[in-house]
C-alpha cells in the first residue's frame, strides 16, 4: 500500500519559513531603473503630452458641483493640462493635507482659508507656496479681487493663493418677513440701530416659547453685555437649554424671527420654501458707528510639492475667475471674492444678493490673532462665555476680567 503523503508540522514550518525569507528578500530588492518611484500616487499616468495636475478638493455640494462643471471647460481650453480631482471630507481636509505633505504625496493645488488661521498654518507647515512670482510672470491683475480678501491671505508679506470664495463674515441679519409683517412691524433696513433691533426682537418673541426674536452669533463678538441682555434681560434669544437642534435648524424651521449669519445661510432658502418669506439686512449700527463685519476668505493655492507650478496656477486662476465665482452663486451659497462677482447681474436678480454686495463692498478688514491661534481663542471664548448665555453668570467686571485674562493667556502663546 502506498504511504499516504501527509504534511507534518516540521515540513509545514520549513516551507513557510522558506517562503517568508523569499518574500522578505523580494521586498528588499532594489527598484529596477525606470520603474515609478515608491510612494507614487498618481491615479493613472497622464496622457502623452499632457501635464497632470492633482487637485485636492473638499467634498461639499456647492464645490463639487462647481468643480464638475469647470473641470471639463478648463481642460477643453487648456488641452495640454489634465486636472485630476482628489476629494477629501471637509472636516478632515487639513489633516489629510498634512498627512500627504509628511508622506511626500501632496499634489499640485489645494484649498485653504483665512478662517481658523488655516492658511497661516499651511504656510508655516510648508504645504502652500507664495504665488507672487507667478502673479508677476502671468501678468495677473490683482485688482480683480477685493483688496481685503487679498490681504487676508497674505502671510508674512507674501500672497499665498487667490481668493476662491469670500463673504463679509457674520454681518448679515436674516429676518422672517412673514413674522415681522404679522407683528405689524417694519422690516429692518440698512443703517438700523441696535436699539431698533432689540425692539423688533421683543415684538417677534412669543410667550409660548415657540418663536424667539433673535439669535446672535457669539463668535468674535466684543459686545458681551449687549448679547447678555438679549439672552437674559430682554429674553429674545433662546438660551442653550431652549435650543432645538442647531441654530440653522431653528432658522429654517421658523423658530427664529431674526438670525445673524453669513452669506452661505442663503442656501437654506430652498429648505424654507413657502414656509415663510425671508430677507436680509446688514448688522445694525453699534456704538462704534459701524455694523460689524470682516472679510472671510477661502483660497485656492499652489502647493510647495508641485512640479508644474505654471499649470497649477492656471487652474487656480480658473477656479478664482469671474465665471467660477458667478457659478458658485448660481449653485447656491458663498460666491467668489471679486467685486465683479458680487455685482454680477446674474446674481443681483436675487434681492438678498443686493444686500450682500452692499455689505461686502464696505466690509471691514479681517482680524485674526497675531499668533495664529484663532481657533483656540474662539473656542475658549465660546466655552468661557457659556455661563453668561445660560444665565449662571452675569457680565460683571470680575467675570469679564477672568475671561479676558484667560483669552490673553492664549494670545500670549507663541506661534505654533
Partner 1 sequence: MATTEQRIRTLVNNQSQPIGRARKNLFKQRFGTFVLYILAILVALAFSLPFFWTISSSLKSAAELYVFPPTFLPETIRWKNYSDVFSLAPFATFISNTVIITALAMVGQIISSAAVAYGFSRFKFPGRDALFFLVLSTMMLPWQVTIVPTFLLFRYLGWINTFLPLIIPSYFGSAFYIFLLRQFFMTIPRDLDEAAKLDGASSVRIFWSIILPLAKAALATVAIFSFLEHWNEFIGPLIFLNSPEKFTLSIGLRYFMDNPFEGDEPREAILMAASLIVALPPLILFFAAQKYFVRGIVTTGLKG
Kindly state whether residue 373 participates in binding partner 1, applying the rule CB under 8 A.
no
Q: Binding to partner 1 (CB under 8 A): which residues in 197-256?
A: 210, 244-245, 248-250, 252-255
- Of 378 and 393, nearer to partner 1 (C-beta) is 378
Contact 102, 94 (CB under 8 A): no
Q: Which stretch binds partner 1 (CB under 8 A): 2-10, 134-142, 282-290, 396-404?
A: 2-10
Instruction: Give the one residue of 91, 136, 207, 370 binding partner 1; rule: CB under 8 A.
Output: 91
In angstroms, what is the minimal distance from the CB of 5 to partner 1? Answer: 10
* Nearest distance from C-beta of residue 31 to partner 1, angstroms: 9
Q: How far is the CB of 195 from partner 1 (least distance, A)?
A: 29
Candidates 79-87, 152-160, 391-399, 403-411; binding stretch for partner 1 (CB under 8 A): 79-87
Q: Which is nearer to partner 1, 220 or 286 (CB)?
A: 220
Q: In the range 313-372, which residues lie near partner 1 by CB under 8 A?
A: 332-334
Q: Which lies closer to partner 1 via its Cβ, residue 127 or residue 334?
A: 334
Return the number of other C-beta atoms located less than 10 Å from residue 33's C-beta.
5
| Residue number, 249 or 358, with CB nearest to partner 1 | 249
Count of positions on this chain that bind partner 1 (CB under 8 A): 64
Footprint of partner 1 on 249-278 (CB under 8 A):
249-250, 252-255, 261-262, 264-265, 267-268, 270-273, 275
Q: Which residues bind partner 1 (CB under 8 A)?
A: 4, 6-9, 12, 27, 36-41, 43, 58-64, 84-92, 96, 99-100, 102-105, 113, 115-116, 210, 244-245, 248-250, 252-255, 261-262, 264-265, 267-268, 270-273, 275, 332-334
Amino acid at each position: 500500500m502506498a504511504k499516504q503523503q501527509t504534511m507534518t508540522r516540521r515540513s509545514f514550518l520549513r516551507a513557510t519559513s522558506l517562503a517568508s525569507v523569499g518574500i522578505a528578500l523580494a521586498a528588499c530588492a532594489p527598484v529596477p531603473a525606470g520603474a515609478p518611484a515608491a510612494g507614487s500616487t498618481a491615479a493613472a499616468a497622464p496622457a502623452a503630452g499632457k501635464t497632470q495636475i492633482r487637485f485636492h478638493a473638499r467634498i461639499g455640494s456647492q464645490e463639487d458641483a462647481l468643480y464638475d462643471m469647470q473641470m471639463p471647460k478648463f481642460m477643453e481650453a487648456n488641452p495640454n493640462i489634465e486636472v485630476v480631482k482628489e476629494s477629501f471630507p471637509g472636516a478632515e481636509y487639513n489633516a489629510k493635507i498634512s498627512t500627504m505633505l509628511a508622506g511626500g504625496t501632496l499634489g499640485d493645488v489645494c484649498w485653504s482659508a483665512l478662517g481658523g488661521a488655516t492658511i497661516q498654518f499651511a504656510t508655516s507647515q510648508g504645504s502652500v507656496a507664495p504665488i507672487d512670482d507667478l502673479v508677476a510672470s502671468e501678468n495677473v491683475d490683482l485688482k480683480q479681487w477685493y483688496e481685503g480678501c487679498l490681504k487676508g491671505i497674505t502671510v508674512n508679506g507674501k500672497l499665498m493663493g487667490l481668493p476662491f470664495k469670500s463673504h463679509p463674515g457674520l454681518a448679515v441679519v436674516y429676518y422672517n418677513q412673514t413674522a415681522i409683517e404679522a407683528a405689524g412691524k417694519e422690516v429692518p433696513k440698512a443703517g438700523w440701530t441696535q436699539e431698533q433691533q432689540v425692539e423688533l426682537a421683543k415684538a417677534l418673541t412669543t410667550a409660548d416659547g415657540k418663536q424667539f426674536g433673535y439669535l446672535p452669533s457669539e463668535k468674535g463678538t466684543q459686545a458681551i453685555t449687549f448679547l447678555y441682555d438679549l439672552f437674559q434681560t430682554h429674553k429674545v434669544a433662546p438660551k442653550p437649554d431652549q435650543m432645538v437642534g442647531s441654530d440653522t435648524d431653528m432658522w429654517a424651521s421658523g423658530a427664529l424671527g431674526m438670525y445673524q449669519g453669513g452669506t452661505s445661510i442663503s442656501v437654506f432658502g430652498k429648505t424654507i420654501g413657502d414656509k415663510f418669506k425671508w430677507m436680509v439686512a446688514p448688522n445694525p449700527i453699534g456704538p462704534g458707528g459701524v455694523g460689524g463685519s470682516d472679510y472671510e476668505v477661502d483660497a485656492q493655492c499652489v502647493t510647495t510639492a508641485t512640479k508644474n507650478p505654471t499649470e497649477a496656477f492656471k487652474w487656480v486662476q480658473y477656479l478664482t475667475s469671474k465665471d467660477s465665482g458667478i457659478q458658485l452663486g448660481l449653485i447656491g451659497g458663498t460666491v467668489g471674492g471679486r467685486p465683479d462677482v458680487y455685482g454680477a447681474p446674474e446674481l443681483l436678480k436675487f434681492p438678498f444678493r443686493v444686500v450682500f454686495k452692499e455689505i461686502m463692498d464696505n466690509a471691514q478688514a479681517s482680524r485674526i490673532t497675531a499668533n495664529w491661534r484663532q481657533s483656540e481663542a474662539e473656542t475658549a471664548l465660546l466655552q468661557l462665555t457659556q455661563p453668561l448665555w445660560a444665565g449662571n453668570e452675569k457680565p460683571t467686571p470680575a467675570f469679564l476680567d477672568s475671561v479676558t485674562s484667560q483669552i490673553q493667556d492664549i494670545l500670549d502663546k507663541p506661534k505654533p
